[in-house]
Structure 1
Amino acid sequence: MKKILIIDDEVNVAVLLSKFLTRNGFDVTSASSGNSGLEYLKDQEFDLVLCDYRLEDTDGREMLRKIKTQYPNTGVIIITGYSDIKMAVELIKMGAYDYISKPLYPDEILNTITKAIETRQALLDSADEPVAVSGKPAKKQAPQTDGVVIGTSRTSKELARQIELVAPTNYSVIILGESGSGKEEAAKSIHLQSPRRNQPFVAMDCGSLTKELAASEFFGHEKGSFTGAFATKIGHFEMANGGTLFLDEVGNLSYEIQAALLRTVQERKVKRIGSTKEIDLDVRIIVATNENLGDAIGKGKFREDLYHRFNEFSIYMPPLRERGNDIILLAEYFLGAANLELGRNVTHFSAEVIECFLKYRWPGNVRELKNIVRRAALINEGSEISMKALPLEISNYKMPGFDYGHQQSSFNQAPQQSEVKEPRHDLKNAALEAEYETILKVLREVNFNKTRAAEILNIDRKTLYNKMKAINLK
């Protein structure tokens, strides 16, 4: 029988909750203050705590901090009034499972509690799961949520929980994280789990916009409104109307465009360039950045008022190096996708490759892992991906205490003669592979700044995008 502790100084609420939950098969204990609740927690283990945000001797923030510090495996749900909902969302970021707002409804309470206990049990069950390093295919498939691979680590499960929490709302969301960590995939997952799932999801790369084109891309224009406007263009806000607009690399927008964007977000209306007609908008906005917008605000590069418009809820995308065993689950998922795409039948990774993947730091994150696996599936011979199929920066990677034996200790050292791969006689594939490696190398060097990469490669930005699309490098 699952044990629940209710902490509420409103006696009538505590009694009603206790009776209701007891009837539904829970072992319930009630405390009338924060201090008495902590005393109960010292004496016995509880699966879940229902804590009122406003208590006479403390508040929900302090209670959550103490419970998660002293009893990290105990789930916490905050009971809140309507005026405290924004604070409750902040508490969820601190580790609370969810919140229940007053007035309390039996079905909502029971559903939230059941999910919280199931999630807690799943986390406990998976905390010490071993990773398959035997060289055989892992039996467990990488879990997915609306096409997004989530993983089984605690970090990934927390990410999935936050997405599930915010998805049904209309909150604007900022997704923070390094380049390649999967921010657009997280945005798609939020959209697909929201009531807007059947409406458009429109993604816009703000990093590729020039100051001159940004207004037209955002708001659209009428035919003849400026030189070169040969036809009417619908902007991204209009395209996303009714659905979700995802703005990637939002920190790259000019200050002037930020001002126009703020006005559109506030008024929920858009006007095409050259038009006097205002169009009503019903758009949810999700933005992503790999920059510290707080620093950008301090330097006068990003508007603080626009930041607060976007930051109704924030989600942190952990880098791949922090996701532990998920690296292997993701690699297996990408291998399956590569087999379908390329018509190959590569079944698994060698034990050495798995160990290498777990030790490597993955500066390009999930994007880099996907590209490495696709490349390996293309050039690999046989059913097992071996070290020979990995690029040198992966196969030669070293960490303290980690030795591949036959591998070289530095990226700059040439491989031994016995390790040199046999030349490929298919010139077309060899050329594509060389081009792939060059583009990826330059993108890494400039932290995936596509404008700078195009300059270094001596091609225009459109050509770079076309080449990235041709090799499926997103």
Structure 2
Amino acid sequence: MKKILIIDDEVNVALLLSKFLTRNGFDVSTASNGNSGMEIMKNEEFDLVLCDFRLEDTDGREMLKKIKTQYPKTGVIIITGYSDIKMAVELIKMGAYDYITKPLYPDEILNTITKAIETRHALVETEERAPVATKVNKKQNLSGFVVGTSKASKELYRQIELVAPTNYSVIILGESGTGKEEVAKSIHLHSNRHNQPFIAMDCGSLTKELAASEFFGHEKGSFTGAFATKIGHFEMANGGTLFLDEVGNLSYEIQAALLRTVQERKVKRIGSTKEIDLDVRIIVATNENLTEGIQKGRFREDLYHRFNEFGIYMPPLRERGNDIILLAEHFLEEANKELGRNVTTFSADAVECFMNYRWPGNVRELKNIVRRAALISEGPEITTKSLPLEISNYRMPVVDFGQLQSNAEPQTAAVKEPRHDLKNAALEAEYETILKVLREVNFNKTKAAEILQIDRKTLYNKMKAINLK
């Protein structure tokens, strides 16, 4: 059970918060002033402290300094009034996770607390594993990103190490579920900004009406429903890193506003005339082909080039070889801690199923499968009985490249035992080469044709022949 300490000299507020959080599964303690709060922390370890900015014996700044000095693994959220918002933003830069403004709303409180605890645990786990963080031949956890032994994983980690110390904007490309946010966090944690905020936004869930307010913030009364001043994500991330997931889903109008903010390094809240200077590193992620979006007029080319100072490709799980088992073992450790189980290994048949399966949901799917298997496993070993039928019954088809070269429809391509003749080996090598070059140029077929030293029509024909879309 996660432990929370509430420090607030308003007895009614502390009591209401305590009852609400207790009902939601937290172990809650309260203190009426800063001194008594610090005394309680001497005897108990807390995951999170909710501290009012104005206390009778001190203020939020002093409390944050003391907590960060004496209990650096404990997260801090500041409770503040409207007049203290500017100071609350400064406290975030000093190490507070976030702030909550009065009046307090239950959903907002619970969401902020949950994210704060998850973030702190990820950071603590990263710090505990830090001594082996440079050895890429062993399993590592960089805020959720496990570095494997496959060639693709080593190259991915090399790129993270390369770009992290810079201020380059980064585009992370990859299928859904490959762990793009974990890589973004790893870049942040390896950068000079690691002590500053890491703010993540899911652009796929933003409506056109909400997007501007979420990005840039707004002043109280600036539009209908603006009952209080809101700090935007750019301002919250100032000094640190702003991660924009599924950036291809943003409307064209918001893209224009983003471009202006990124170019000028200034932000202005809705309803305000004051510009705020920004020092924010931007990392974006997408599972879409943004260059295709540019050609179709859905994504601004100038914004794309602002983001694309450095590109990272996230390989799908099916291309990571033995990393599948490495990741499965890591998720099994996590599941054992979460569920209080002692499932220690995978059977040989289960390992074979994992290696044969194509993992359309990638790392996210693997994690869910392992957690489920750990829960229902009847012994210390996960067997095929604990796996879903789509995995335990999966048989990897072997495609006859000779027939794919013919004019047959892709659906009728023969599936048979592998053939090891020279013709098929050459076709497979050609497939891998074309795919590799296309990825390197972000699926720009003109550039790919130039690198491959063939004309564009020939490239299209070869792609069609091997069913490469």
What is the TM-score normalised by the length of structure 2?
0.55
The equivalent residue for 2:158 is: 161
The equivalent residue for 1:304 is: 301
The equivalent residue for 1:194 is: 191
The equivalent residue for 1:237 is: 234
The equivalent residue for 1:340 is: 337
Which AA in structure 2 matches 1:237?
A: F
The equivalent residue for 1:226 is: 223
Match of 2:284 among 280, 287, 292: 287
In 2, the alpha carbon distance for the partners of 1:299 and 1:372 equals 38
Which AA in structure 2 matches 1:327?
A: I
The equivalent residue for 2:274 is: 277
The equivalent residue for 1:367 is: 364
The equivalent residue for 2:56 is: none
In 2, the alpha carbon distance for the partners of 1:147 and 1:394 equals 24
1:91-123 Cα offsets, whole Å, 9 max, x none, are: xxxxxxxxxxxxxxxxxxxxxxxxxxxx9xx99
The answer to whether the 8 Å contact 2:204/2:249 transfers is yes
Give the alignment's Cα RMSD to 1 decimal.
1.7
Which AA in structure 1 matches 2:202?
A: D
In 1, the alpha carbon distance for the partners of 2:241 and 2:317 equals 26
In 1, the alpha carbon distance for the partners of 2:231 and 2:389 equals 45
Which AA in structure 1 matches 2:263?
A: Q
What is the TM-score normalised by the length of structure 1?
0.55
Shift of 1:381: 1.1
In 1, the alpha carbon distance for the partners of 2:393 and 2:144 equals 33
1:247-281 Cα offsets, whole Å, 9 max, x none, are: 00000000000000000000000000011111110
In 2, the alpha carbon distance for the partners of 1:146 and 1:184 equals 9
Q: Percent identity?
A: 84
Shift of 1:332: 0.1
Could you list the runs of 5+ residues in structure 2 that have no partner in the other structure? 1-133, 400-469
Q: How does 1:308-457 map onto structure 2 within 5 Å?
A: 308-400=305-397
In 1, the alpha carbon distance for the partners of 2:274 and 2:287 equals 36
CA 269–401 in structure 1, closer or farther in 2 if over 3 Å, else same: closer
Which of 1 and 2 has higher RCO (CA within 8 Å, sep 6+)? 1
In 2, the alpha carbon distance for the partners of 1:338 and 1:290 equals 28
The answer to whether the 8 Å contact 1:181/1:366 transfers is yes
The answer to whether the 8 Å contact 1:203/1:246 transfers is yes
The equivalent residue for 2:200 is: 203
1:163-186 Cα offsets, whole Å, 9 max, x none, are: 000000000000000000010000
Which AA in structure 1 matches 2:323?
A: D
Which AA in structure 2 matches 1:373?
A: V
Shift of 1:362: 0.3
The answer to whether the 8 Å contact 1:146/1:193 transfers is no
The answer to whether the 8 Å contact 1:142/1:332 transfers is no
In 1, the alpha carbon distance for the partners of 2:390 and 2:214 equals 38
